[in-house]
Chains A and B, each alone.
Chain A
Amino acid sequence: AQSVTQLGSHVSVSEGALVLLRCNYSSSVPPYLFWYVQYPNQGLQLLLKYTSAATLVKGINGFEAEFKKSETSFHLTKPSAHMSDAAEYFCAVSPRSNFGNEKLTFGTGTRLTIIP
């Protein structure tokens, strides 16, 4: 079974500082990997996804993530934090399934707080 582990349920960074949110996956074959963001009282929004093309993936709002097979990691980074980045972030994994169920398995989430 596939799973993801997010290290750190809460992360605080100063405005303008580097954001680093950690995610490690467990899968017998390289999976598809995702980062989603959830703002209060809103649904999940896809930030970026890895589907086996480039290992460095760029997403929306200046975020990027690097797939490292040797470390089974898919950490999310942003060079300079903005107040609007404060939200809950979820790492997720999906099986490689041709025309089938692409259900997502999510981590427990990391709440990002930005300090002015």
Chain B
Amino acid sequence: DTGVSQDPRHKITKRGQNVTFRCDPISEHNRLYWYRQTLGQGPEFLTYFQNEAQLEKSRLLSDRFSAERPKGSFSTLEIQRTEQGDSAMYLCASSLGIWDFHNEQFFGPGTRLTVL
């Protein structure tokens, strides 16, 4: 199966620590999205990459958050000085943006972050 993969699947950390998540999109997908899903809520958009360029960031993405997509392949999401409010499921999705109508996003299984 060559779907979207995310690592790790679960992360428990103490408040104030830094964490980094990785997303491997479907091969050749040029678009990559990060979403955050808190308990009882739907996913919320965080940021979007077209190839290696980060083209949009949500206001939800504070200065403690940084995302990269070097060489337009895998992506990393880093959270510095974690807070308990950062506890959530972090979802990655990728799509092949070649059509002028909606290009389906394929989601990974997510990384569940718990900040103690």
Contact = CB atoms under 8 A, between A and B. Distances in A.
Interface in A87-116: 90, 92, 94, 96, 98-99, 101-109
Interface string A74-96: 00000000000000001010101
A98 B100 contact: yes
Given A94-B102, A108-B40, A43 B97 contact: no
B44 A43 contact: no
B109 A42 contact: yes
B4 A108 contact: no
A103 B56 contact: yes
B79 interface: no
Q: In the complex, which range does the number of interface residues on chain B fall in?
A: 20 to 34
A51 B107 CA distance: 20
Given A51-B101, A98-B100, A99-B100, A44 B43 contact: yes
B109 A43 contact: yes
Nearest to A9: B40
B42 A107 contact: yes
Which residue of B42, B48, B97, B103 has the most chain A CB atoms within 10 A of its CB atom?
Answer: B42
Interface residues of A, number: 27
Contact of B95 (A36, A45, A102): A102
Interface of B: 4, 31, 33, 35, 40-45, 48, 50, 55-56, 91, 93, 95, 97, 100-105, 107-110
Given A49-B102, A104-B33, 6 more contacts: A44-B91, A46-B104, A51-B102, A103-B45, A103-B56, A108-B40
27 contacts: A32-B101, A43-B4, A43-B108, A43-B109, A44-B43, A44-B93, A44-B107, A45-B107, A46-B105, A49-B104, A52-B101, A94-B102, A99-B100, A101-B50, A101-B55, A101-B56, A102-B102, A102-B103, A103-B48, A103-B56, A105-B45, A106-B42, A106-B43, A107-B42, A108-B40, A108-B41, A109-B41
